[in-house]
Amino acid sequence: MRRRWTMAAVGVALSGVACPARLTPSAPFAVDPSTEGADAATADEDAFAGGDAPLQDDGGIDAAVTGEPGLADLFSGAARFQPDSEAETIVFDFPSNRPKVWDQKKVVVAPDGAGGLFTVTRGIVSDDAGGERFALFRLRSNDGVLFTEDGALFQAQSDWNLYDAHLTKDESGGWLLTMECDDGVHGPSLCVSRSSTPLVTSSWSPPVRLVTAEAAPARSASTGLALVFGGVRFVKWTVVDDGQQPWIEGTESTSVRVAQVADFQTPLSGAGSAGLGVFTADGGPFCTDRWDCNNRDIQDWAVEGGVVYAAYNGGNYYRCERVGFDYGSNDWHLALARAPSPIGPWEASAPIISAPVKDYCSIAYPTLAKIAGQWWMYYATSSPTGTFAAASKRVRLGWAKHVAAGPAAPCSVRLPDALTSTDVAAWVEAVHCLAVDAVPDAATIASETQAVTSQATTLRSILRGLLDSADFAARWKVGSLNDEAYVFLLYELFLRRLPSPTERTQWTTSLSAKSATRADLADSITSSSELAVRLPFLAP
C-alpha cells in the first residue's frame, strides 16, 4: 500500500494508494510505439494502441451489444469499465468486534466445487497485549456483492499483523495466499501460505516470509502477489521506499519489483534488492513527467489470451498528503497495465477511476475478478468529504457505446466508413465526428461539401476551424483542462495515441512558458503527416 502512518492501537505502519486527474474517464488507451520491446527495468510504460472509434461520454456502456468483452477490448478502446458513479457497493458482514478498515483489498475467486465465491481480507482484532492488530478472515459470497465472514486464518500468529491478502492458484491446482506480514521484528514483509482445500481454515500452511523489509533506508515489501505463468513461478511486491528520513529527503517512491522463483518457500533477499524493478517510479516526490510518476502499486494481475494484465493504483506522490506544504497537488487514480510476461515490459493505460479528493488516501486496491464470464474491477474508495466513511465497490467491464452502429451513435460509423468512401459529404461528416463527436446539420454538410468540391477550402481547414469552435470546447470540456490535459486530448483524439515523453514535455513546457499557444498545438496536430496517414481523405 501507499499510506504509511503508525496507528498506536495497531502498532504497524499502514499503507495506501494514489492517483491524479485524467483526461476523461472514458478516454481510450493509446500506445507510444517507441516503448514496444523496451527493457523491463527501464521502459517508459506510457500506453497501448487504441482503435479509431471516437471518444465517448464518461461511462458509456452499451447494453445492446451481446457477448462479454475481454481485457484486450479495454485496451483497444472497444470496452470500458463503468464509472464510479455507477459502481455497486460491496458489503462485508463482519461481527461488530471486527470492524473493517476503509481500504479493504479483495480478490474474488470461485473455489472448485463450492458453487460460490470467496475472498480473504483483513479485520481489526484485539491482540495479546490488549491493543489491536490486523488479522485475515475468509469471507463467502453467492453474488460477489454481499460477503459474510467464514472464519479467521492463522490464529497461531496471534501477535502478527497480517493484511493486504491476495489469492491465486498454483500449478498443481492448490491455492496460494500472499499477504503483507509484520511480526514486530522484521517490518512489513511479504509472506505466503498454501492450501489445497481453501475453505478448510486449518488447511492453510503457516505464513512463510519470502521477502523481508529493509531498514535505513526503510523499504517495505507490500501488496505481494504470486503467479504461475508459462510454467514459471513469479512473485511480485511493491517497495514503499521511505529513504533514511521519510517525507524529507525528496528521494522517496513506491514502485514494483518482480522475481522469478524456484518455489514459493525459499526466502529471497531484501525488499529493495531482490528481483527486478519492472514497473518503476521516479525516486523524487516532486516529479511531473507522468501522472503516476512517483507512485505505482500493482495490486492484482490476471492472464487472458497469453497476456498478463495488472490492476494498479498510482499517483504523483507516494503517500497520502504532502507534509506541511503544497496541498492540493497529490492526485490518485486507478489504472490497468499489460505485459507479455510478469517481468514486462509493462505498458500502462490512462487512469480509469479517479480519487474523490486530493491529498488523501481516497482510492486504492483495484483487483480484477472474472465472474460467470464477466470482468469486474473491485476497489476501495473513501468519502468525497475526506473522512473514513468509506466504501468497497465494483464496476463492470462492458462494451463501449461507440462499438454499436445505428442512429444512437451515428459518429461510430461515419468516421470509419469515410476511410473507404469517395463521397466528399461523407468526409465532411467524418471531420465533424472526429472533432466534436456530432454529425452536422444538412445545411452545414451541403455548404462545406460545396466549398471543398470547389476548392474554396479544404477538409483539413474545416477540421482546424472546429478546434476553435464552441462545440469543440463544450464537447471536450476544454475550459476545465490544464495544459497537460489539453495536450493529451489532442493526441488521443486525433492521433489515437498518447504523446511520447518528449512530446509531452516539449508541449507542456512551451505552453507553461507562453512560448507556444494551444492554437500552435492545434496547428501542429491537424497539419501533421501522421494525421494524414491515419485519415487519407484529409490530404490536399
pLDDT (tens digit per residue) in 358-385: 766 678 899 999 998 999 999 988 766 5
- Residue 31: what pLDDT? 26
> Could you tell me whether strands 189-195 and 146-152 are parallel, antiparallel, or unpaired per DSSP bridges?
unpaired
Answer yes or no: do 338 and 447 share one domain.
no
Give the cell for residue 265: 518457500
Answer yes or no: do 238 and 358 share one domain.
yes
Answer yes or no: do 359 and 428 share one domain.
no
Answer yes or no: do 448 and 519 share one domain.
yes
Answer yes or no: do 351 and 499 share one domain.
no
Answer yes or no: do 296 and 375 share one domain.
yes
Answer yes or no: do 190 and 52 share one domain.
yes
CATH assignment of the domain containing 290: 2.115.10.20
Answer yes or no: do 364 and 446 share one domain.
no
Domain presence at residue 287: yes
Domain presence at residue 1: no
Answer yes or no: do 310 and 192 share one domain.
yes
Domain presence at residue 106: yes
Last residue of a domain, one of 349, 378, 402: 402
Domain presence at residue 432: yes
CATH assignment of the domain containing 533: 1.10.3130.20
Q: How confident is the model at residue 15 (pLDDT cuts 50, 70, 90)?
A: very low
Last residue of a domain, one of 344, 379, 402: 402
Highest mean pLDDT among 31-45, 51-65, 510-524: 510-524
Q: How confident is the model at residue 47 (pLDDT cuts 50, 70, 90)?
A: very low
- Residue 131: what pLDDT? 80
User: What's the number of domains the chain is made of?
Assistant: 2
Instruction: Say which range, 40-49, 160-169, 302-311, has the weakest mean pLDDT.
Output: 40-49
- Residue 420: what pLDDT? 66
Domain presence at residue 465: yes
Answer yes or no: do 396 and 456 share one domain.
no
Answer yes or no: do 312 and 214 share one domain.
yes
First to last CA, the chain: 54
Domain presence at residue 81: yes
Domain presence at residue 526: yes
Residue numbers of the domain that contains 492: 405-538
- C-alpha span between 405 and 438 (Å, rounded): 14
Render pLDDT for 299-345 as a digit per residue (tens, 0 to 9). 999 999 999 999 999 988 887 766 655 556 677 899 999 999 999 89
Flag whether pLDDT at 169 surpasses 50: yes
Q: What is the DSSP string of 14-82?
A: ---------S-TTPPP---GGGTT--TTT---------SPPP--TT-B-TTS-S---HHHHHHTSEEEP
- Say which residue, 31 or 93, is predicted with more confidence: 93
Highest mean pLDDT among 108-117, 222-231, 286-295, 435-444: 222-231
Mean pLDDT, range 77-98, rounded to an integer? 82
- Residue 96: what pLDDT? 59
Domain presence at residue 29: no
Last residue of a domain, one of 350, 367, 402: 402
Answer yes or no: do 179 and 321 share one domain.
yes
